[in-house]
């Protein structure tokens, strides 16, 4: 947490514009939702692009230990368009399915419905924590040459290897997100950027260590 605060302090000139771009997109989706809810649902996956931009800038800060060049920000928003969009679509679809099952299951009076709702709740928790682990790996400059499927596989292995650590990280990020949402201006200007730094600071050492361990275990 302290390292992320230091990172943000020295690199706010790059992170805040990226967060503001994401915030503008979020506000746009919410405004569309007031007029046309289905349209907001269709636009939601596009928020993956500014999300990827924020995480890519945060990844450069953490990996390079220096302020990214100004040209890196627009490049970050345009890089890897296809996997970014697919990740956004998958996240939104999974959230809708699990959220619907949770609402329907827990609103009924049948034990089977409660069981489905409980599984859906756990699914949402896994999706939340998995996203926090996956985004840093998707944009990791040291793994940019690897297929996206391999990076997602590494995210899954990390979740299995360190469930408590990343469960705690998911809880911490949830607290930051809730506080930022209460302070709306913070969410739109600094919230996600700080979350990205916290995630990168936690995920990269764990991922590097796990890969080193797996490489050493191979005959």
Q: Where are the domains of the chain?
A: 2-217
Between 174 and 189, whose confidence is greater? 174
pLDDT band, residue 181 (cuts 50/70/90)? confident
Give yes or no for a contact between 29 and 40, defined as CB atoms under 8 angstroms apart. Answer: yes
Alpha-carbon distance of 156 to 206, in angstroms, equals 12
Between 86 and 77, whose confidence is greater? 86
Is 0.85 surpassed by the pTM of this model?
yes
Alpha-carbon distance of 117 to 103, in angstroms, equals 7
Alpha-carbon distance of 199 to 205, in angstroms, equals 11
Q: State the average pLDDT over residues 118-144.
A: 93
pLDDT band, residue 78 (cuts 50/70/90)? very low
What pLDDT is recorded for position 138? 92
Where does residue 14 rank: exposed (0-12), middle (13-18), buried (19+ CB within 10 A)?
Answer: buried
pLDDT band, residue 106 (cuts 50/70/90)? confident
Neighbour count for residue 72 (Cβ, 10 Å): 18
pLDDT above 70 coverage of the chain, percent: 90
Tokens of 123: 């699914």
Instruction: Spell out the alpha helix ranges (H) of the chain.
Output: 2-35, 37-43, 48-64, 72-78, 81-107, 111-138, 148-161, 163-182, 184-186, 192-217
What pLDDT is recorded for position 93? 94
Kindly report the average pLDDT of the chain as a whole number: 86
Helix axes 148-161, 192-217, angle to 10 degrees: 90
């Amino acid at each position: 947490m302290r390292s992320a605060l230091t990172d943000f302090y020295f690199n706010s000139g790059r992170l805040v514009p990226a967060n503001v771009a994401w915030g503008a997109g979020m506000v746009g989706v919410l405004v569309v939702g007031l007029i046309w809810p289905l349209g907001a649902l269709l636009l939601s996956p596009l928020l993956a692009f500014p999300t990827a931009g924020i995480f890519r800038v945060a990844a450069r800060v953490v990996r390079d230990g220096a302020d990214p060049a100004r040209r890196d920000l627009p490049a970050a928003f345009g890089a890897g368009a296809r996997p970014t969009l697919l990740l956004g679509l998958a996240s939104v679809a999974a959230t809708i399915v699990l959220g619907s099952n949770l609402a329907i299951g827990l609103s009924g009076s049948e034990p089977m419905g409660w069981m489905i709702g409980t599984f859906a709740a756990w699914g949402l928790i896994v999706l939340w924590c998995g996203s926090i682990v996956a985004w840093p790996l998707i944009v990791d400059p040291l793994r940019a040459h690897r297929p996206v499927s391999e990076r997602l596989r590494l995210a899954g292995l990390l979740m299995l290897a360190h469930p408590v650590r990343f469960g705690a990280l998911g809880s911490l990020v949830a607290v930051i997100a809730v506080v930022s949402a209460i302070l709306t201006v913070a969410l739109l200007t600094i919230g996600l950027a700080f979350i990205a730094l916290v995630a990168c600071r936690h995920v990269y050492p764990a991922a590097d260590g796990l890969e080193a361990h797996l490489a050493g275990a191979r005959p």
